[in-house]
Structure 1
Amino acid sequence: MEIVQIVGFGLIATILIIVIKQKTPQIAFTISILVGAVIFLLLLDKIQAILSVIQKLAIQANVDVLYLSIILKIIGIAYITEFGSQVVRDAGEGAIAAKIELAGKILILVLAIPIIQVIIETILRVLP
């Protein structure tokens, strides 16, 4: 099971980081970022499989590729924002982490405007 390997890797890295943090916090922080990146890389094939399935479902449902692209970008922004804000928060910078989260939310809203517009237009067509 891949999750056991990932959790094991994370636990070992955490123990290493705790030991190193006392003497050299900068190296511990760097290890933390690298571990996060490695875990992300381990999941890339799964992410690709998910994207492939979503694309196939969208084609079968005759969903406009533009909307699918927007939704995938929104999901990407959400994950990247979460990862970035957690790293910054781990570094002790909660205020900057909050600003990263705010930026992510605003960018998601900007990307969602075409979808919101279509929904409102559809509702207006349905109403008498």
Structure 2
Amino acid sequence: MEKVVMIGIMSVLLAIPLKKDKPEFSMLIILTACMLISSLAVWRIRDLLRYLKTLQEYLGSGSIYIKVLFKMIAVTYMAELGANLCRDAGYGAVAGQIEFFGKLMLLAVSLPVLSALFEVLLQFVPGGVG
């Protein structure tokens, strides 16, 4: 965590003086810092994925839920990263659209879980629905 904080602070301290006179260099410093931090995050995510794969093996038939969780994590992080980069570059409208699409994707990915939940709930309704 210390590395990530230091990369973030140092990149901002380097980018601030350049922002007025050379905004393109400032943006390159920030983008480089984002890529470094993202690469560090990927290494941590690999450990998490290994753990979730082990959990998936234990669950067996419930593994669809782990797959949905994987997809939701991926969508969330990709949308947040893309939106933040666009927002930092001054393109807030594009960032908003990325966030909107990310939310739609989360809903779409979660539909199998919602469907399974409704199936379970319908088992407890006497006489079924209709």
Query: What is the TM-score normalised by the length of structure 1?
Result: 0.89
1:70 aligned residue: 68
Tell me how far 1:8 sits from its aligned partner.
1.1
User: Deviation of residue 65 (structure 1)?
Assistant: 3.0
Q: Deviations over 1:47-85 (max 9, x none)?
A: 111111112123223353333222111111101111111
Q: Aligned equivalents of 1:31 and 1:23: distance in 2?
A: 14
1:12 lines up with 2:10 in the alignment = yes
Aligned match of 2:113: 115
Report the equivalent of 2:38.
Answer: 40
State the percentage of identical aligned residues.
Answer: 27
Provide the alpha-carbon RMSD of the alignment: 1.5
Q: Distance in 1 between matches of 2:125 and 2:50?
A: 36
Greater shift after overlay, 31-40 or 61-70?
Answer: 61-70
CA distance in 2, matches of 1:68, 1:106: 19
Corresponding residue number in structure 1 for 2:23: 25
Residues 18-40 of structure 1: CA distance to partner in whole angstroms, max 9, x if unpaired?
Answer: 12212221221122122111111
Q: Deviations over 1:87-118 (max 9, x none)?
A: 11112222221111000000111111111111
Residue matched to 1:84? 82
Please give the alpha-carbon distance, in whole angstroms, between the structure 1 residues aligned to 2:57 and 2:39.
28
Q: Which one has the largest radius of gyration?
A: 2
Q: Return 5+ residue gaps in structure 2 as ranges.
A: none
